[in-house]
Structure 1
């Protein structure tokens, strides 16, 4: 007989996996616990054995995506000898890489940002994860070396750069393009990544 704790862990994982899929497709407001339970193949009461309500499940789903996100960004090949501009470019490219490799998490972050819910922003800001602290450090270095604007609040500027990356996917022309090609094909086009990184840098420099 399978241990009860093992079965319970598998059920919780199934619910979280279904929640990630459903929240990423519909956002928080239009997702129901019943829809998540149906996709997970469990009784509609099962999610409440692990999560107090929809918001609790949403926050747990967001936390899981942040861990995935952290893993991708910790692999960002930043060299201490890189200029602040190069460091920002590399971090932005890692965020875009996250978008192609973990689409559900990226879509979840997009929904969160577009709805003004900002659970992602709050969790990301308080999580102290690698990409955020590295981006803050790169921007601060750029300010100190008079490459970036002197009036920048470096924490707010770092969050702005991250939000630009996710909000880019909400642009009408991008949405239209992604109906005809995959995200990987879209970013393989010459100049697309540079266009996004250049826009982020303009926010810091102008």
Structure 2
């Protein structure tokens, strides 16, 4: 499993000030709306220092989320095979990560997102900007349908994580990974392939 590479620790106070400012900016403005310049201003540092400690905005966001993996290192392989079978590949990769020690961080993030609106905003931005956008960008999809497909996929992923890892609902909680892939993969694939015209019409 690919893990994100770290940077030099630097001054703890400066790093924490940057992380605090970034956490506020990402939660309030979203990933796209938050800028390195604004985050630096909020932390009282030069923008170059933010880049020095954290690199890119994506890497800073991963640090804010304390993400155990960098989705950017996994998603290219997922979408390389095209849309066919992607539903199963998504579920299999998801379970591989959550069934590993890194899953403990995912459970903590999910619990926090359920109980805290601030954390929920960050988790939503993480799913949208770091995972779903990258998955769908590699596919030939109607841009007008991408947000709806993203939200449907996210609902399946979050629901599966909640039931298997937080509430531990049996028999899903202890089911072998491949059994879950076989059961959930086709649903994920339907969210990628199904005709959503009726749903879009209902939503206006």
Report the TM-score when normalising by structure 2: 0.48
Larger radius of gyration: 1
Using CA pairs under 8 Å that are at least 6 residues apart, name the structure with larger relative contact order, 1 or 2: 2
* TM-score of the two chains, using structure 1 as the length reference: 0.48
